[in-house]
Chains A and B, each alone.
Chain A
Amino acid sequence: EVLLLESGGGLVQPGGSLRLSCAASGFTFTSYSMAWVRQAPGKGLEWVVSIAGDGGTKDYADSVKGRFTISRDNSKNILYMQMNSLRADDTAVYYCAKPGSNTITSGRGFDFWGQGTLVTVSS
């Protein structure tokens, strides 16, 4: 059974930093790209960042470029996202998501999602 378990959310002041983790199990983690998707309170879904299975290719939404960094530890099956220079509009539930194929552009959408972790940026 595929499981994705996010952690690391919480309350942080504007300008602060936070690191999110997503522990993956039930599939060959290193074979799959992974992504973070967020949802601000009462709003829609926003793709934030994705990373290739080998960690080589990383793509970022313009809204987080230069502030967020995605990484992965394939020996531990953990996906990370380091968030710096946080702003109020980064307040959201952050989901990690697994594509249905090895890469996101291979054609099967995101077939498994974690339960999400809430990040609140406020003074």
Chain B
Amino acid sequence: DMQMTQSPSSLSASVGDRVTITCRASQGVNNYLAWYQQKAGRAPKLLIYGASTLQSGVPSRFSGSGSGTDFTLTISSLQPEDVATYYCQKYNSVPFTFGPGTKVDLK
């Protein structure tokens, strides 16, 4: 079965730090890769689709890159409101699998 992995599983960073989260697919996903942010007790929020396209209204400090099987979400300057769990998801074909998540908090 198709697998999605993320690293790290959690990280602590300071306000203003550059944060990088990696997502890897066990098979190529043709850049049909999305990133979501989920704050505690809230529904997920779409940040990035197509591996690198910023969803409308999302701050420009978020960016996505990668292709094929290896993808990255970068927060250029971490803000307190970015404390959340981040998930990648492939949607090129069923099953539309999510990664296990990366929890980001403040140091």
B89 within 8 A of A: yes
Stretch at the interface among B10-18, B75-83, B95-103: B95-103
| Contact A47 B97, beta carbon cutoff 8 Å | yes
With A44-B101, A114-B43 already in contact, the answer to whether A50 and B94 are too (CB < 8 A) is yes
0/1 string, A94-123, CB within 8 A of B gives 1: 010001100011011111011110000000
A35 within 8 A of B: yes
Chain A's closest residue to B34 (CB) is A109
The interface residues of chain B lying within 8 Å CB-to-CB of A107 are 32, 49-50, 91
- A-B CB pair tally, cutoff 8 Å: 69
0/1 string, A5-35, CB within 8 A of B gives 1: 0000000000000000000000000000001
Q: Which of A35, A104, A115 neighbours the largest number of chain B CB atoms within 10 Å of its CB?
A: A104
Chain B's closest residue to A111 (CB) is B46
Question: What band does the interface of chain A fall in when counting residues whose beta carbon is under 8 Å from B?
Answer: 20 to 34
Contact of A46 among B36, B46, B98 (CB under 8 A): B98
The interface residues of chain A lying within 8 Å CB-to-CB of B43 are 95, 113-116
List residues of B whose CB falls within 8 A of some A CB. Answer: 32, 34, 36, 38, 43-46, 48-50, 53, 55, 87, 89, 91-101
List residues of A whose CB falls within 8 A of some B CB. Answer: 35, 37, 44-47, 50, 59, 61-62, 95, 99-100, 104-105, 107-111, 113-116
